[in-house]
Chains A and B, each alone.
Chain A
Amino acid sequence: MALSGVEIFKLLPKTNCKKCGHPTCLAFAMKLAQRQASLDQCPDVSEEAKKILGEASAPPIRSITFGSGDRAVKIGEETVLFRHDKKFVNPCALAVEIKDTLSEGEITKKIEEVLASEIDRVGQKLRVDAIALTNASGDKGKFESAAKLIASKAPNVPVILSTTDPASAEAAVKLFAGKKPIIYGANSGNAEAMANIAKTEKAILGVVANGLDELSTLTEKIKALGVEDMVIDSGAKKAEEMLENNTMIRRAALKKNYKPFGYPVINFAQRDDSLHEALIASVGITKYASIIVVSGIEKWKNLALFTLRQNIYTDPQVPMQVEQKIYKIGEATPDSPLTITTNFSLTYFIVSGEIENSKVPCRLAVMDCEGLSVLTAWAAGKFTASKIATFIKESGIENEVKHRELIIPGYVAILSGSIEDKLEGWKVTVGPREANGLPAFLKARTA
């Protein structure tokens, strides 16, 4: 739990030396409590105070970098239970399971699917983040050779090495030296051996238990053995249990600052039915998983899960924006109508969706208004006649369309005259106020 200013003050030298830049130790303590100062600023603080304060100021859920290089994913560090309170920090990683019982050809195919999974959506690159190799064969040699295949074909993809056998884990983890893989995992039977391997090989340790009580005992034990980076699994497989345990872990970590659960959560969502698996993964995405392992990554499923993850991890205080440009919808020709709106992603999606529904090919000019919707942007002076005129002129659209007619949203009908004044040779037409009026409006024009 975060310490109060007075509690911190008791740990400081109380010399009022001002070396930290604050007039007194108490003032410094108050700043520390508000997290507006850093303990490093005090040159005389004792080692003991550093330890206590360091622990108290550590984030309630540990931040861990899984993997290395370009494809490394940061997980953990979450601060809230509900996304409307504050942005969920690090989007959960999606991992696909590869069993070591598969043939070399099948493993290669899955690796290639992972490598080709990247999709661009609203300017973000979304992809399957990791591979979870499971020791389904129970055989050390098979596990090691599958790991070799992954290490050579997908050297940059973060890897989870799933085996309960320490010898197999050790053999495989050496293939990913310096790449921060996850060894999954340590259980009550092999904790010491696994902890030693994770420590020596600088790997993250997945800790799996049978329920929350056992999990808390295990993480404390492993921490005492010197392993800092853990991802935790309560052993829950059924959706109800997964949701309950994920919720308990997140609450305990955040509200009680319960250190044994201050680690990112890993969920295993594999199901035979791929759509069912997608929905189990959806439970994990919305409710507190930091890594979700699935068995299949069909393209349709990836798209749905990536999109859900993007939606849930969006900053509720910052509107999602789309890129400023002129979008072609349908088979737009130089004669197709030109409409304009703002770059708030929701506005863009709804307007472009309705234009698509109209089946009338169009150009949609999306203007950067810092992610505000039409009326708000107009009220804030970001969607004004002169800005619209400049955007249209500079967009080069005059070379692309034969006509000179711009359709503006009905809500800003008031701008039509002034846009015509500023945009020489153009005619401004007032469109419907709401996007759902677009299909009728566009169809009526072509009829």
Chain B
Amino acid sequence: MAFTAPKETYSGKVYNVTIGTGERAASFGGENVLPFLPFEGTIPNKPLIAYEIQDVPPTDWPENVQKPFSSVSGDPVTWAKFCQDTLKAKAIALRLIGTHPDRENRSPEDAAKTVKDVLSAINVPLIILGSNNAEKDAPVLIAAAEAAKDKNCILGKAQEANYKTIAAAAMANNHKLIAMSELDINLSKQLNILITQMGFDKERLITDPMCSALGYGLEYTYSVMERIRLAALTQNDLTMQPPMLADVGMYVWKIKETQAPESDVPSWGNAEERGIAWEATTAAALLMAGAELLIMRHPKAVEAVGKLIEEL
């Protein structure tokens, strides 16, 4: 019985999204096949990895991931430049965590200033993230979107509770938008529909089905992503065709495996290497599930995932 390759052709295609402006603009998505199977379709872009920085010093990050940034993380502008110039970041994700009411509770005006300052210091695309406080994110992201007008950033994250104001801000200021729902393909589809019903162009959306760290629900994110991607390709479901985000760093660097010193759990091995491997492995698995945009923290994990992408 001679072998004939069981190739698949799909009716759907993931939207190609371009962010940033000028020479350093970057694109992701655009493929009409399952992840990294170029022999049966086209994959115009490789996944994009953005370095995560934040508006306040990362005192909440575990020491092993604070360390690579210790000389620059006191100021978001220096930090952003370091990522772009020294680490060769292709995109930067600025998390305005300091605006959270339980944190520094920075004002929308302060946040807008940080966004402006960072934007004027870099030429790679910027992703602007709120503090994940649905209420506070609305005014913060409106101010941030205005401060970044026409810079073609990604604004996020719009959730069920606040999508109207954030989507309107993204639309008015020509940004892309992350729509996040919690680990459920139907919720994800519904939110994309609600946002597009406001007149927001579906080709400017990025779906965040919510990330989970390896060992902490990764299989849920993995399967929701696979199902979204299959719906986009096999059923040509237009609402499921925006590229997907895996917000890896934030979820990985808060669990025990990325923090516990080797002296506490000798069977887990070196803590620093373990943390890096945890972030990189989580990212690798989600790439296989269909993520096109990754937000990551540790330079060594980013480097390793970059190397994997090169080989795929």
Contacts and interface: CB of A to CB of B under 8 A. Distances in A.
Chain A bound to chain B: yes
A256 B8 CA distance: 13
B310 to A, nearest CB: 9
A248 B308 contact: no
Contacts of A255: 6
Interface string A285-327: 1110000000000111111110110111010100000000000
Question: Is chain A's interface secondary structure helix, strand, loop, or mixed overall?
Answer: helix
Interface stretch (B9-17, B159-167, B170-178, B270-278): B270-278
Nearest to B273: A300
Interface string A344-372: 00100110110011000000000000000
A282 interface: yes
Given A307-B214, A312-B222, A298 B269 contact: yes
Contacts of A121: 215
Contact of A346 (B39, B220, B311): B220
B308 A239 contact: yes
A279 B281 contact: yes
Interface in B259-307: 259, 266-271, 273-274, 276-278, 280-281, 284-285, 288-289, 300, 304-305, 307
Contacts of A356: 256, 259
A287 B216 contact: no
A300 B215 contact: no
Q: Which of A216, A243, A259, A285 has the most CB of B within 10 A?
A: A243
Contacts of A84: 223, 226-227
B31 interface: no
Given A247-B37, A298-B269, A303-B269, A252 B285 contact: no
Nearest to A286: B288
A213 B17 CA distance: 38
Contacts of A258: 1, 3, 6
A300 B268 contact: yes
B305 A279 contact: yes
Contacts of B307: 273, 276, 279
A248 B269 contact: no
Contact of B281 (A216, A244, A261, A308): A308
A349 B257 contact: no
A216 B3 contact: yes
A445 interface: no
A239 B214 CA distance: 21
A301 B281 CA distance: 10
Contacts of B226: 82-84
B312 A239 contact: yes
Given A240-B36, A280-B311, A357-B254, A303 B274 contact: yes
Interface in A188-219: 212-213, 215-216
B44 interface: no
Given A239-B308, A276-B307, A252 B6 contact: yes
Contacts of A119: 267-268
Interface in A390-426: none
B68 interface: no
A350 B219 CA distance: 15
Interface residues of B, number: 54
Contact of A304 (B220, B230, B274): B274
A260 interface: yes
Nearest to A303: B268
Nearest to B257: A303
A221 interface: no
Q: Which of B37, B215, B259, B288 has the most CB of A within 10 A?
A: B215
A6 interface: no
Q: Which of A121, A280, A304, A440 has the most CB of B within 10 A?
A: A304
B193 interface: no
A387 interface: no
A285 to B, nearest CB: 8
Contact of B6 (A240, A256, A316, A357): A256
B218 interface: yes
Contacts of B227: 82, 84
A198 B271 CA distance: 43
A8 B80 CA distance: 68
A438 to B, nearest CB: 12
B304 to A, nearest CB: 5
A346 B1 CA distance: 46
B49 to A, nearest CB: 13
A278 interface: yes
A128 B34 CA distance: 30
Interface in A120-165: 121
Contacts of B300: 275
A421 B254 CA distance: 38
A238 B310 CA distance: 10
B256 to A, nearest CB: 6
A216 B256 contact: no
In the A-B complex, the 4 residue pairs with the smallest Cβ-Cβ separation, listed nearest first, are A299-B269, A300-B274, A300-B269, A239-B311
7 contacts: A82-B227, A84-B227, A275-B280, A282-B284, A299-B266, A299-B270, A304-B281
